[in-house]
Structure 1
Amino acid sequence: MVRVVAAVAVFVAIFALAAMWFVGRGGQGGDQFAQCRQTQIAGGTNTIGGPFELVHEDGQTVTDAEVLTAPSLIYFGYTYCPDVCPLDATRNAEATEILETNGELVTPVFITIDPERDTPEVLKEFTDYLHPRMVGLSGSPEQVKSASQAYRTYYRKQQPEDGDDEFYLVDHSTFTYLTLPGHGFVEYFRRDVSAEDMAQRVGCFVNNM
C-alpha cells in the first residue's frame, strides 16, 4: 500500500511539473507568443508575409530585410483615401507613440496600394505628418501587387462614375500586421482596435521575443 501511495505521489509530482512547463511555454505547442495572440490564422502565421521589394519614400529601392529591422506595424492603404486610411494610419502612429513612451521602439510602415498617385514624394509628406519614423513604401504596380499578395490583402481600383480618372477610389482590406525580426508575421489588428489596446498587445509580443 505504501508503495502504491508513493508511486501515485511521484506521478502527481511529474504531472504537476509537466503542467507548469506547458503553461510556461504558452500552452500551445511551445508557441512563445501564445499568451499574446488574440487572433487565429487559417494555415498558421507562416502563411502571411514574406519577402518584398518596394521603393522607399526617400527614392531608393529596398527589400523587406532592409525595412523590417525592428518590430513593425504594416498597413496597406493609399494617401488619397478620404477617411479609412488616415484614421487607421493615425491610430498606428498613436500606438507607436505609446510604445515608445514605454521604451519599446516599433516602426509603423505604410505600403500604398495606389502607386499611380502615391509617388515617394507624396508618401513622404503623408508619413512625416503622421509620425517621424513612419516609413512609406511604393513601387511599380507589379511590386505592390506582390507585396499585397504576400500579406494576403485585397485592393481594387474603382471606376469613377463621372469618368474623371484622376479622382478614383480604391477598395481595400484594412488590417494592420505586426512583424518581428527573426519571426516574421505574428499578429494582425482590425480597425476597431484602439491605439491603447494595440500598444498593449504589441508590447506583449515585443517583451516575449
Structure 2
Amino acid sequence: MQRPVAIAAAGIVATLMGGALIATTILAPSDRLAACRTGNVAGGFNRLGGPFTLIDGAGREVTDADVITEPSLIYFGYTSCPDVCPIDNARNAAAVDILAEDHGIDAQPVFITVDPARDTPEVMGDYAANMHPEMVGLSGSEAQIAAAAKAYSTYYARADEDPDYYLMNHQTMTYLALPGRGTVEFFGRDDGPEEVAQRTACLVEAAD
C-alpha cells in the first residue's frame, strides 16, 4: 500500500530537482539575482543608488564610477558615531575578508559620511585606513552628501544643536553595489559578516 506513495514522492522530488536545474540554467539574470536576495524594494532595486560626486581621503573628487569598480558594501554614517557605525563598518570589513578568503571575490567596504562638517576628506581617509586597508572613506560638501544620500534613499539628520558634540540620526542599511549593475541588495544590522558574505557571493556569481 505504501509503494504508490513512495513512487509519487519520488516523482515529486524528481520534479523539484528538475525545476532546480532549470532555475540554475535558464533563468534570466534578474531572476537569478532575485534567488539570492532576502530583501525587496518597492519599484525594484534600480530605485536605490545612482550617480554621485564626492571627495575621497586624498582630497580628489570622485564619482560613483570611480568608486564602484568592484563589489562594494556602501554604508552611510559618521566617524563620531558612538555605537552603531563602528560595529556596522567592522561587520562590512569582516565580510570583505570572508569574501576574499572563502570565495575568491575581491570586494570593498565604502563609508560615506553624513556629517561633512566634522568628517573632512582627511578624517574619512584616516578612519577608513584604520578600519580596513580596502575601505574607501568619502566626504564632500553638504550638497554632495545630500545628493548621494538621496540617490540611495537613505535618511539622516542632525539630532541636536550642540556645535561640537552633536549626534546624527541616520539609517543603518548597507547597500551592495556591483560595477555596471548598481545596487542589487541591502543588509540590515542583524545580518552577520558570514551572511553578508554569502549573499554577496551568490549575487556576484549570479551576475556574471
Compute the TM-score of the two structures, normalised by the length of structure 1.
0.85
Indicate whether 1:89 and 2:89 are aligned: yes
Aligned twin of 1:149: 150
How far 1:181 moved relative to its partner? 1.2
1:22–1:30 CA contact under 8 A, matched in 2: no
Q: Confirm or deny: 8 A CA contact 1:27 1:34 kept in the other structure.
A: no
CA distance in 1, matches of 2:33, 2:153: 22
Structure 1 segments of 4+ aligned residues over 4 angstroms from their partners: 18-22, 25-30
- Say if 1:57 and 1:137, in contact at 8 Å, map to a contact too: yes
The DSSP-based 3-state class of the residue aligned with 1:178 is strand
Q: Match of 2:85, as an amino acid?
A: C
1:207 is matched with 205
TM-score of the pair, normalised by structure 2: 0.86
Gaps of 5+ in 2: 1-14
Amino acid paired to 1:191: R
Aligned counterpart, 1:182: 180
Question: Which amino acid letter does the alignment assign opposite residue 114 of structure 2?
Answer: I
Are residues 196 and 118 of structure 1, via their aligned partners in 2, closer, same or farther at CA, if it must alter by over 3 Å?
same
| Partner Cα separation in structure 2 for residue 89 and residue 112 of structure 1 | 12
Deviations 1:16-51 (Å, cap 9, x if unpaired)?
A: 9x9578523686895231221111111101111100
Cα shift at 1:120: 1.1
**Which digits, 9 at most, give the CA deviation of each residue in 1:150-201, with x for residues without a partner?**
00000000114xxx41000000000000011121100000001001111111
Between the aligned partners of 2:62 and 2:200, the Cα distance in structure 1 is: 25
- Residue in 2 aligned with 1:52? 52
Question: What is aligned with 1:104?
Answer: 105
Alignment-derived partner of residue 189 in structure 2: 191
Q: 1:180 to 1:91 in 2, by over 3 A?
A: same
> SS at 2:118's partner residue?
coil
1:160-175 matched pairs, under 5 angstroms: 160=161, 164-175=162-173
- Report the structure number with the largest CA radius of gyration: 1
1:139 is aligned to 140
Q: How many residues align?
A: 191
What does the per-residue CA deviation read over 1:83-108, in whole Å, with 9 as the maximum and x for residues that have no partner?
11000000000001111112110111
Q: Name the CA distance, whole Å, in 2 between partners of 1:206 and 1:24.
A: 14
Give the RMSD, CA atoms, in angstroms: 2.1
Q: Does 1:36 align with 2:33?
A: no
> How far, CA to CA, are the matches of 1:134 and 1:81 in structure 2?
17
Q: Report the identity percentage.
A: 50
